[in-house]
Structure 1
Amino acid sequence: MSPQRLRDDLVKQTKIDVLTADQAKDNEAHMHTVSRSFLTDTITVPTPEMMSYAALSSLGDAVYHEAATDALEKHMARLTGKEAALFLPSGTMSNQIAIRTHLTQPPHSIVCDARTHIHKYEAGGAAFHSQAAVIPIHPANGHHITLEEIIHNADLTSDIHFALTKLIVLENTLNGTIFPQDEILRIAKFAKENDLKLHLDGARIWHVAAELAIPLEELVSPFDSVSICFSKGLGAPIGTCLMGPAAFINKARWLRKLFGGGMRQTGFLSASAAYAVSNNFEKLFHVHELTRRIEKGLIELGAEILSPAETCMVFYDPAPLGLEYAEILERAAKLPDPITLGGSRLVCHIQTSDQAVADFLALISQLKEEKKAEGWVPPEKTHVNGNGVIRDVYVRPKAIH
């Protein structure tokens, strides 16, 4: 076989077409599916308008200089009142680089809520990347950790049996709930007085700003560093920004390279994020309205609300209706126009349709009536908890993240 024939065959082997026969139609169908999914807010997809804007972006190399990415970073620094910002591919990398940047020589420990992303959903990254022990706190109020709980759990002694606490990490929102700003200020004061760093996982801080009508700068001013996502809430395809002092961000940029996050032509990603910030933040007001509509409907039907609709999430228990999550998921998936669910957590996002909300509540109502027709009777209230409050006894599976 001639060298030219070998080259031609090699070229043929490398060719691939990832587009379907009718990709535009398939994309439209997927967008409809997303509009009827309550699984999470990370499933939102870029709109044609976002893609058109991103296609016009700059073409630089972000390891050296990328104009759109630089502009996005500067805007996020201004928006949060911090000296500098760094664009990263994911919230997990942003949090882990922040932790690694703040911490220097182990042994050291981090105090956080037991439910936070850095503790439960980042693959043990604090231990792996920063050799840090994590001290998780289960908040007694079921909503947010308090200064008193941090003081009780943090190790600020010189006892060689313990890892000295050097960092406090808070998350806002956490499971869709808003961390009270006055409590954050109390914790920040304690951190400063005890030479502790304070980091915010603000992946969904956009929701707090929208719900409370408080500027981002005010919300994040108590923190030494803050991570804010573009793909959660705002609907960008990828991306997070980490903000903090200039020296902190310079070190974080170095660690981003070490972590394998030094990206090249990020202009179209940064442009997508910029489009999301400019055009999608205002959509969060409606997102919160939809979430409250679901909560109100579930209460009226008799379901129990496990965590209220403060922003974009509501957690519920269908057991008072004689229902289990599995049967709801199954029936929702078999609707003529299916709905995607994930258990106790319902998440609304900027592409959630009003019709999906109405159809979900109609399904719960229908299932409730079917149970009644089968003769199901709610269990008697038989359990008294430690506070002497009578509650029904239901088995509640874990909420998925």
Structure 2
Amino acid sequence: MKRVFLIVLDSVGIGEMPDAKAYGDEGSNTIKAASTSKYFSMPNMKKLGFFNIDGMDCGEGIDNPTGAVARMHEASKGKDTTIGHWEISGIVSEEPLPTFPEGFPEELLNEFEKRTGHKVICNKPYSGTDVIRDYGKEHVETGALIVYTSADSVFQIAAHEDIVPIDELYRYCEIAREICTGKYGVGRVIARPFEGAYPDYKRTSRRHDYSLMPPQITMLDQLKEEGYDVLAVGKINDIFAGKGVTKMTRTKDNADGIEQTIALMDEEFNGLCFINLVDFDMVYGHRNDVDGYAKALTYFDEKLPNILEKLGDEDILMITADHGCDPATPSTDHSREYTPLVMYGNKIKAGVNLGTKDTFSDISATILDYFNVPVKTKGTTFLQQVLENEQ
């Protein structure tokens, strides 16, 4: 029995990529920004070699790390969650997903209003917390749906749970997913439920993402086809529209995601456990909360020993990210950054530094190689460079 635990620290970038200026992200460095907080502490990741990664501009590397590391370059055109996770799983996107900085076109919203029976308010790029503050009262009074976007390729629908029951909100998102195709094919339609009374509205944990179907086969598809288990924790199932997943586990926040992962480590399965920890991005990066971001990284680091001690002899742990979201820049959007890769397990050579890899897809190629599945996706395996012993 072999298992790979692939944890995505959502938005934990490690410094601007060469083309960051083209994305408006020159100078972005998420991990360096978080490291300026007095609450930042990652001694366990340091032991694995996290601060030995090429180009790391904070922390100090050590002489004898216990893990293997690499710096990952995004080959896709974009900096969002969907494209980042797709690339980790073997798809390199040549074109960015569509964005709507001026709001969605009238013909799209007219169709949405017709099919849902609700008027739309807002229709602008907006912060998720600000939009319910500014439009929540009107929504509660009129029943109109708050539709908004961001710099990312998203169609977001916010509604108060007392006004629009959660199942109804999900149905409206399914309608939006059906009509957001072709030139309107956003990466994700997102349900953003909230609760409370004006002016103290709060978003609830019942967010739900409806992603585009991956346009090509992924690592998940290949593993499932070969009879391996593919466990999805957090929003992984949503990102891949359920494709290639054999078991789904929803989570409320980072802490719950970590605990669910630890619980799954006690189960017998043969294959991949793919985990997304979203709070770094959703709760702290997008809100420019440096201290909150640092606390979240510190919490993950404190829990890391619980994960490491549960690894079996044939298990491999991989920790990476999908993009950046620098909490210290004026922007509240994702940033075009390199991402880290840290690997650990009895099978992994300690102290290996693979330098900078050309694409996130090398991760999927390596995982498929570990399970002896022919690689049909993008990417090049580096398995033999990090294995302690040949298979």
**TM-score under structure 2 length normalisation:** 0.29
Larger Rg: 1
Which structure's relative contact order is higher, taking Cα pairs within 8 Å and 6+ residues apart? 2
Higher helix fraction (1 or 2): 1
Higher strand fraction (1 or 2): 2
**TM-score under structure 1 length normalisation:** 0.28
